[in-house]
Structure 1
Amino acid sequence: MKQITFAQAEHQNKKKVTRRERFLAEMNVLVPWQRLLDALSPSYYPDAAGKRGRPPTPLDRMLRIYFLQQWYGLADEALEDAIYDSQAMRDFVGIDLSIESVPDATTLLRFRHLLERHSLTQRIFEEINASLAERGLFMREGTI
């Protein structure tokens, strides 16, 4: 069993659920994470096994971070800082600062470029639209 940190214990015992926590909890349920992972995994470092250097950050974590960036309109450096600052964001992404660090701004930039290079942002949009259509909802391009 993993022991929680003082910061996590303090965060869990607070009385109020913030708008950010409520929003992220809803998005955690609504976004078809497994469907997106299945669609994007063939393009995410398919030949990283056996190579030197740090292992790539798991795709599910990078995808959640990418969504945070889109939802909150943050630059790479601002996103890195926001994740360090916000327990709600760290919980959503699945980062425990006592064990690991937040991916740096360069890693976030490279992930965005990977998505763009392989036209995966369009694939994300299509998968989310398909998931919404299955629920009787529909989304077109636009801004929130």
Structure 2
Amino acid sequence: MTQLHLGLSLSTKRTRKREFLDEMRQVVPWSRLIALIEPYPKGKTGRPPFPLATKLQIHFMQQWFGLSEPAMEEALYDVPLHREFAGLDGGMTRLPDETTILRFRHLLDAHGIAAQMLRRSWRWSMKY
């Protein structure tokens, strides 16, 4: 239990957004997508990087909900469900800023990873 929660659950209703994110957590092949990204270079200076899974989940939420990088950063601060989905709810002292989110998108674009993820996800879904 983190200090932010204090053991209080203010929401007992399962919203459509929560249902959607729960389903996406199950159906998106996260480990396969992360394996596509791992070989590419990452920043070597500055603060410790966020886990690839976290950045990938933020990227997907940004696409699903049509958010810009600044809006996605704000959503991470404002919406506990977004932090929870990205794995940032467990006592993290910092959240990714808009530059971190933008740099990750640029990494995906520069190496054609986003297109690969789309193609492979479509093929994986056709198998099931």
Correspondence for 1:73: 66
Give yes or no for contact 1:8–1:87 (8 Å, CA) kept in 2. no
Question: Separation in 2 of the partners of 1:66 and 1:20?
Answer: 16
Residue by residue, what CA displacement relative to the aligned partner does 1:106-141 show, whole Å, maximum 9, x if unpaired?
111111111111011111102211210111xxxxxx
CA RMSD of aligned residues (A): 1.8
TM-score, normalized by length of structure 2? 0.90
Give yes or no for contact 1:44–1:59 (8 Å, CA) kept in 2. no
Distance 1:106 1:10, change over 3 A: same
Correspondence for 1:18: 15
Q: How many residues align?
A: 128
Secondary structure, aligned partner of 1:107: helix
Correspondence for 2:117: 124
Residue by residue, what CA displacement relative to the aligned partner does 1:73-126 show, whole Å, maximum 9, x if unpaired?
000010011111111111100113743221000111111111111011111102
- Structure 1, gaps ≥5 residues long: 136-144
Q: Of residues 45, 69, 86 in structure 1, which corresponds to 2:79?
A: 86
TM-score, normalized by length of structure 1? 0.80
The answer as to 2:113 corresponding to 1:113 is no
Q: Of residues 2, 7, 10 in structure 2, which corresponds to 1:9?
A: 7
Give yes or no for contact 2:69–2:101 (8 Å, CA) kept in 1. yes
- Structure 2, gaps ≥5 residues long: none
Q: Greater CA radius of gyration, 1 or 2?
A: 1
Correspondence for 1:142: none
Deviation of 1:22 (Å): 0.6
Give yes or no for contact 2:57–2:85 (8 Å, CA) kept in 1. yes
Question: Separation in 1 of the partners of 2:103 and 2:6?
Answer: 30
Identical residues among aligned pairs (%): 38
